Copies of this chain bind each other. A is one copy, B any other.
Amino acid sequence: MNINYPYLLFVGNATDSLSIKMARSAADWSPEKCLAEYRLPGCTVTTGCPAMNIQQAAQAGAKSFVLGFANSGGFLDPQWIPTILEAMDAGMDIVSGLHDKLTDIPELQQKAKALNLQLIDIRHPVTRFKTGTGKKRIGNRLLTVGTDCSVGKMYTTLSLTNEIQRRQVPATFRATGQSGVLVSGDGVAIDCVIADFISGAAESLSPENSSEHWDIIEGQGSLSHPAFAGVSLGLLHGSQPDSLVVCHALGREHMRGLPLQPLPTIEQTINLNLAHAKLTNAQARVVGIAINTSSVDAEQALQICQSISQQTGLPCSDPIRHGVTSIVDNLL
């Protein structure tokens, strides 16, 4: 994937910071590629990048206009098409992580052709996958799993990869969502694969490797989420993880998007994931707990992590606040 940068991150009129995950992920993990963000009136969230409009960003050298928001279902709201066309007229490629494909919209196709610009639908696999085999592959694999969607699995996975690499152990971040693919420039948005091939796509994402190598695989969804558990289970089976890290966000009152659906406990999440992981890897174990503590103060965050660690007997930390050294100590 050849995504030109710097980016102008478009966050529209978003009011939910979780809904601009694409933009925030790029700003947090590839800040050197992010020139600015473009916010519209009514927008109450930010990536922290400087604000620019399309003309300002073009003059400052922006090469790609990144649709930084997502919604359940991945629809491309037709109201954004004039804005996208404006960015193209200003000379930018368009990058989208939605289910709706840019290349399916004739106006965008025509302008891209006329101006020799790229329309990049990073969520859509270009590979033809096979069905899963369950066959054991050489090399080590870690998968992050969650009590819910959007609890910090990608941030945890990137933090773990960086910490393992810092210790001179060969490790590769394996992106499974559109934000991860944008950050790493590679991977498979597993929720956009045809259902029959979820496990097969996950197998191809972490192929056989040297016996000391670690694939650090970004998890998706949650085995306890009624809408997305199938994706989580297929990814788990295809990944055949040796090690799991359970991710959780404090302050969540119900499963994301489903006010009536209660959250599982961390212990339930450990047990459910281990029970299924053993189908393709009898040695699977949980090596740590990662908590997104952004909803509480620093002192509370430390106390909660210590308490969870005592309850579960596993290292527990907030990857952003505390790092992941204790989890990686336990892993290696």
| Chain A residues within CB distance 8 Å of chain B | 72-74, 99, 130-135, 190-200, 224, 226-235, 237-238, 255, 257-258, 260-261, 276, 279-280
B199–A131 contact, CB under 8 A?
A: no
A73–B231 contact, CB under 8 A?
A: no
With A and B bound together, what is the CA distance between A54 and B236 in angstroms? 46
Copies in the complex: 2
Query: In the complex, which residue of chain B has the Cβ closest to the Cβ of A235?
Result: B230
B195–A230 contact, CB under 8 A?
A: yes
Name A237's contact: one of B132, B230, B260 (CB within 8 Å).
Answer: B230
Give the residues in chain B near A200, CB-CB below 8 Å: 227
Give the residues in chain B near A192, CB-CB below 8 Å: 194-196
**Chain B nearest Cβ from A196, distance in angstroms:** 4
Name A190's contact: one of B73, B195, B234 (CB within 8 Å).
Answer: B195
Knowing A133-B258, A261-B134 are in contact, say whether A230-B194 is a contact too (CB < 8 A).
no
Question: Could you list 6 further interchain pairs (A-B, Cβ under 8 angstroms) beyond the known A73-B196, A192-B195, A230-B232?
Answer: A134-B226, A134-B255, A195-B231, A229-B237, A229-B276, A230-B231
With A and B bound together, what is the CA distance between A215 and B282 in angstroms? 37
Knowing A191-B196, A192-B194, A194-B195 are in contact, say whether A279-B99 is a contact too (CB < 8 A).
no
Name A226's contact: one of B226, B257, B258, B280 (CB within 8 Å).
Answer: B280
B199–A132 contact, CB under 8 A?
A: no
**Chain B nearest Cβ from A215, distance in angstroms:** 17
B279–A226 contact, CB under 8 A?
A: yes
Knowing A193-B195, A194-B193, A196-B191 are in contact, say whether A279-B130 is a contact too (CB < 8 A).
no
**Chain B nearest Cβ from A105, distance in angstroms:** 15
Give the residues in chain B near A227, CB-CB below 8 Å: 131-134, 199-200, 237
B131–A228 contact, CB under 8 A?
A: yes
B237–A226 contact, CB under 8 A?
A: yes
Knowing A229-B237, A234-B229 are in contact, say whether A258-B134 is a contact too (CB < 8 A).
yes
Give the residues in chain B near A134, CB-CB below 8 Å: 226-227, 255, 258, 260-261
A to B CB contacts below 8 Å, 5 in the list: A73-B196, A99-B196, A133-B258, A192-B194, A195-B234
B230–A198 contact, CB under 8 A?
A: yes
Q: List the 6 closest pairs (A to B, CB-CB), nearest first.
A: A230-B234, A134-B226, A132-B227, A191-B196, A230-B230, A198-B230
B229–A233 contact, CB under 8 A?
A: yes
Name A231's contact: one of B224, B234, B235, B280 (CB within 8 Å).
Answer: B234
**Chain B nearest Cβ from A128, distance in angstroms:** 9
With A and B bound together, what is the CA distance between A59 and B99 in angstroms? 46
With A and B bound together, what is the CA distance between A198 and B200 in angstroms? 16
Give the residues in chain B near A190, CB-CB below 8 Å: 195
With A and B bound together, what is the CA distance between A274 and B69 in angstroms? 37
Give the residues in chain B near A257, CB-CB below 8 Å: 131
With A and B bound together, what is the CA distance between A192 and B227 in angstroms? 16
A73–B198 contact, CB under 8 A?
A: no
